[in-house]
Structure 1
Amino acid sequence: MGSFQGHALPGTLFLMVGLWHIWSAVVRHVANPKAFEVRVWNPVPGFHGKLKYLELYVVTFGAFLDFCIELLYSTHLKFFVNGVLNPSHLNDFEHSGMLFMFFLLGAIALLSEKSSFVSLPQGALCLIAAAAFCAEYLLFYFHSTTHKGLEGYYHLVLVLLVGLCILTTVAGALYPNSFPIDLCSGIAITLQGLWFYQTAFTLYGPMLPDGCKLKDNEISCHLAESAVRGELLANFQLFSLVLGVLLLVVGSYGFAASRYGGSDLRSMHSVQDE
């Protein structure tokens, strides 16, 4: 079982990174489609380059902050009981491992960019990102906390979205010049962040379906019809989020093309029209 804050914090990080990934991929493509390259992270312009590594700092320190909350605050430093790992906080330890992988991703990318000791290409960073998403996938798939009923359904959708993140990041390493793959990666990360928020508001907030309630740290529905209605509602929520993100992508592409589109983009579109 989780909490509203436990889903909202990682949801915020994934949502910020995903939206920035979408916008950056679109701008880079419309500016110069022939030289497009898949990127795990994207520099932030402005302030004479002082914000260049902002995305990496958000990933690194955001994951580290959440890691400390899960490992230090949630466990109250009670790591062992009677000489064995505290069984009451196994889910906190699992979350910490997942977050540590994303911390490593950000730290390695920063080290690669800001030092001469390690210089990794974007393809290698794609595989490291895929490893972090794999750790997240395995965490939610083989969770020590048994997710049942409506809660299990929301976490099943989350597992599918994480799997999509794995596929797009691995594909980015295999096809380093594919704009659709880079764009799909940003969409998958954004949807994961939004679904974290949706889970928080539905299971631990004001959007809990009628006939279901949160009691004794567990979601229970009085009737089977209530559980089915909750799952159908989850399907509608997922559809709405996907539709909203796709509309956002189309709008972003149109705006970016009108503002940053170069002659290469116009010539490419003219050739496609012919």
Structure 2
Amino acid sequence: MGTLIGHVGPGFGFLIIGLWQLFNHIKLYCQHPKSYRPPIWFPAPRVRHLELYLIMMGGWTSILMELFIGPSRHQPLDPTDWTIPSNHLHNFEHATISFTIFAYAAFALHFDRVRLRAGGTLSFLLGALAFAVELLLSYLHSTDHAGVEWQYHWLLQIAIAVSLITTVMGIPFPRSFAVGFVRSVSVVFQGVWFNVLGIMLYTPRFIPKGCSLETDDGRFVVPCKGHLSLHRAKALVNLEFSWTLIAVVAFSMWFYLYLAKKYPELAEYECLAEKVDQEDGIWKSPKIEEENPDSFADVGKWLKPKDLER
């Protein structure tokens, strides 16, 4: 993934899924604020499992790119002893992240088809596992990101951690709009930051002054000349992160205001088959109490059909 395409490709996938989630969370909450209980994935109008299909396709494509298309010999193993070469460890790490995301979508699809009672909870757990593996392998990366690269990837871990935390919180707080909204925004931000990382880090014209784009063992690195150049480059990365975060949050707020006007609240009707006893909080059936002789419903019990016709 240490290339421009290797970051822009996954970033575009995160961005599409995040925007789809953000749109559906806001729309569902605006139309049904009282009964808001979003799933971990949202069906499309005509293709119910479109989101899961896209995630599976993206994960499988990333696995093929990392293990069989990206390597120069189009296979990741050493042909002499079939071991994993050191310069391909990062390919296996990225493929493992993609496989975990693929597994989440595949199981969530199966849970929905078999109508598993705990399918929603298990899907949340698998989604959290995918973010946890992404965070773990981003932190314990075999490639020793240093300098400017380290700063970009360290800030990326903040966005991944937010996605992980909010996904886990979706289990005990399934009706919280804030949890779903922040999770969607964090996925959108991951996509945007992946694109910013790929473009700014692997495009020569955008490299900070005092730093340069070079190759080391088949991958691109960005070394800087001197401490001052490195310090300036990291400060610029921090500014990029702050500006990107502000832009994503501002867009999310505008998106909410726009959808709130487009999708006003729909009238929701309560089922009259049951009602709540306000005194003890116990659900009771709205049957007419026989002990109440003055009840209007009891009047019909003592009237003959001839009397009712009059």
TM-score between the two structures when normalised by the length of structure 1:
0.89
Equivalences for 1:219-230 in 2 at 5 Å?
Answer: 219-230=222-233
The one-letter code of the counterpart of 2:90 is N
The counterpart of 1:65, out of the listed 57, 61, 83, is: 61
Q: Which residue of 1 aligns with 2:253?
A: 250
Q: Percent identity?
A: 30
Q: Which residue of 2 aligns with 1:55?
A: 51
- 1:24 offset after TM fit, Å? 0.9
Counterpart Cα distance in 1 of 2:60 and 2:82? 27
**Change over 3 Å in CA distance of 1:73–1:257 after alignment to 2:** same
3-state SS in 2 of match to 1:126 = helix
Q: Is the 8 A contact 1:18 1:186 kept in 2?
A: yes
Q: Is the 8 A contact 1:202 1:208 kept in 2?
A: yes
Counterpart Cα distance in 1 of 2:76 and 2:154? 30
The one-letter code of the counterpart of 2:125 is L
The one-letter code of the counterpart of 2:69 is Y
Q: Which residue of 2 aligns with 1:155?
A: 153
Measured on the aligned residues, the alpha-carbon RMSD in Å equals 1.8
Counterpart Cα distance in 2 of 1:218 and 1:236? 21
Q: Which residue of 2 aligns with 1:37?
A: 37
The answer to which structure has the higher helix fraction is 1
**Change over 3 Å in CA distance of 1:23–1:78 after alignment to 2:** closer
3-state SS in 2 of match to 1:39 = coil
Q: Is the 8 A contact 1:172 1:182 kept in 2?
A: yes
Q: Which residue of 1 aligns with 2:243?
A: 240
The one-letter code of the counterpart of 2:5 is Q
The one-letter code of the counterpart of 1:16 is I
3-state SS in 2 of match to 1:213 = coil
- 1:215 offset after TM fit, Å? 1.1
The one-letter code of the counterpart of 1:255 is Y
Q: Which residue of 2 aligns with 1:23?
A: 23
Q: Which residue of 2 aligns with 1:185?
A: 183
Counterpart Cα distance in 2 of 1:156 and 1:264? 46
Counterpart Cα distance in 1 of 2:139 and 2:85? 21
Listed as ranges, the gaps of 5+ residues in structure 2 are: 269-310
The counterpart of 1:196, out of the listed 172, 194, 197, is: 194
Q: Is the 8 A contact 1:98 1:135 kept in 2?
A: yes
Higher RCO (C-alpha 8 Å, min separation 6): 1
Q: Which residue of 1 aligns with 2:171?
A: 173
Counterpart Cα distance in 1 of 2:231 and 2:193? 19
Q: Is the 8 A contact 2:67 2:76 kept in 1?
A: no
The one-letter code of the counterpart of 1:195 is W
**How many residue pairs align between the two structures?**
260
**Change over 3 Å in CA distance of 1:65–1:118 after alignment to 2:** farther
Q: Which residue of 1 aligns with 2:100?
A: 101
Counterpart Cα distance in 1 of 2:94 and 2:115? 30
Counterpart Cα distance in 2 of 1:118 and 1:70? 34
Counterpart Cα distance in 2 of 1:251 and 1:120? 35
Q: Is the 8 A contact 1:38 1:122 kept in 2?
A: no
Whose Rg is larger? 2
- 1:116 offset after TM fit, Å? 2.2
- CA deviation map 1:31-76 (0-9, x unaligned): 001111132211222xxx2x33221111110111011111112242
- 1:119 offset after TM fit, Å? 5.6
Equivalences for 1:82-161 in 2 at 5 Å?
Answer: 82-113=81-112, 115-116=113-114, 118=116, 120-161=118-159
3-state SS in 2 of match to 1:173 = coil
**Change over 3 Å in CA distance of 1:254–1:264 after alignment to 2:** farther
- 1:108 offset after TM fit, Å? 1.1
- CA deviation map 1:225-262 (0-9, x unaligned): 22112211111111112111221122121111112111
**Is residue 2:5 matched to residue 1:5?**
yes
